[in-house]
């Protein structure tokens, strides 16, 4: 997976994935997932990082963030990840790392690709067979994205709507729900690895512009996405990494 400390660029929106050490189910209990959400709320207040989607599963976390400042994103992740790890180890009389290496990042173009990414994140536990709809999983941003909420607000709806040409909230929700319903109709929905294994996803112009920003010593390749449940478009990846649509 592409590491954030190597590939994150300011001014882009990113899908971040952070996994527990060795994919252990360290978030198996609701109190631990809720604690993560509380610290994420605190981190958003402190560092002003716009978050557009999130999902805390039993062994990993998904976030969609706007990297207005890569330093602020790093500070947010350091606060949340560090606090969660220390508190868990103290409570369990445990030593060693909580997280598995550096979190990954994929740049996502605004518009239909970003909308698809938001749906993908919030359907995580549906794909896992744990719940039937995202509303049933309280540790994700689905309900907040649709209804908003006054307690533990995490999603920056104003910033998100700005990436969709400032459409009204109701229009955005209609588009989001429409795509969500179409995904829910798919029997045994498969994981879409493009959201974690690529460096960037979007139009050809977008992924080529991202590619130019990376060091020339990194071997990259651009390719077209034509079929599958993953939205059509283009992506760029490290040439040695496998990809399956």
pLDDT for 161-171, tens place per residue? 999 998 999 99
The string of pLDDT tens digits covering residues 81-140 is 999 999 999 999 998 999 988 899 999 999 999 999 999 999 999 999 999 999 999 999
Task: Give 20-25 contacts, CB < 8 A, sequence gap 24+.
Answer: 20/59, 20/60, 20/98, 20/99, 20/100, 21/96, 21/97, 21/98, 21/99, 21/100, 22/100, 23/59, 23/60, 23/100, 24/59, 25/58, 25/59
What does the domain layout of the chain look like in residue ranges? 4-238
pLDDT score at 4 = 73
Query: CA separation (Å) from 80 to 61, 64, 76, 99, 220?
Result: 11, 15, 6, 11, 31
CB count, 10 Å around CB of 170?
A: 7
The two three-digit tokens of residue 26, written as one number: 């360290």
Q: How far is CA 199 from the centre of its chain?
A: 13
pLDDT score at 242 = 47
pLDDT score at 217 = 62
pLDDT score at 245 = 40
Question: What does the mean pLDDT of the chain come to?
Answer: 90
Q: How much is the pTM? A: 0.92
Binning pLDDT at 50, 70 and 90, where does residue 31 land?
A: very high
The string of pLDDT tens digits covering residues 54-79 is 999 999 999 999 999 999 999 999 99
Residues 75 and 61 sit within 8 Å (Cβ to Cβ): no
Say which residues have a Cβ less than 8 Å from residue 58's Cβ, sequence separation at least 6.
25, 27, 28, 33
Indicate if the pLDDT at residue 241 is higher than 60. Answer: no
In the CATH hierarchy, which top-level class contains the domain 4-238? alpha beta
Kindly state the percentage of the chain with pLDDT values over 90.
75
Indicate if the pLDDT at residue 158 is higher than 70. Answer: yes
Indicate if the pLDDT at residue 148 is higher than 80. Answer: no
């Amino acid at each position: 997976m592409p590491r954030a400390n190597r590939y994150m660029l300011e001014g882009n929106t990113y899908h971040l994935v952070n996994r527990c050490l060795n994919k252990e189910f360290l978030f198996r209990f609701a109190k631990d997932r809720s604690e993560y959400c509380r610290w994420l709320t605190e981190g958003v207040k402190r560092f002003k990082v716009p978050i557009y989607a999130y999902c805390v599963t039993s062994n990993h976390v998904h976030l969609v963030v706007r990297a207005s400042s890569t330093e602020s994103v790093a500070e947010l992740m350091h606060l949340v990840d560090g606090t969660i790890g220390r508190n868990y180890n103290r409570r369990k009389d445990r030593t060693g790392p909580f997280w598995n290496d550096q979190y990954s990042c994929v740049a996502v173009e605004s518009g239909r690709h970003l909308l698809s990414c938001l749906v993908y994140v919030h359907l995580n536990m549906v794909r896992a067979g744990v719940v039937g709809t995202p509303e049933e999983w309280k540790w994700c941003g689905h309900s907040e994205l649709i209804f908003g909420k006054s307690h533990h607000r995490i999603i920056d709806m104003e910033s998100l709507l700005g990436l969709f040409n400032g459409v009204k909230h109701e229009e955005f929700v209609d588009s989001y729900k429409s795509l969500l319903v179409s995904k829910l109709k798919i029997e045994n929905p498969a994981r879409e690895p493009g959201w974690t294994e690529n460096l960037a996803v979007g139009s050809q112009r977008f992924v080529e512009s991202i590619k130019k920003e990376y060091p020339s010593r990194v071997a990259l390749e651009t390719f077209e996405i034509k079929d599958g449940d993953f939205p059509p478009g283009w992506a760029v990846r490290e040439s040695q990494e496998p990809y399956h649509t």
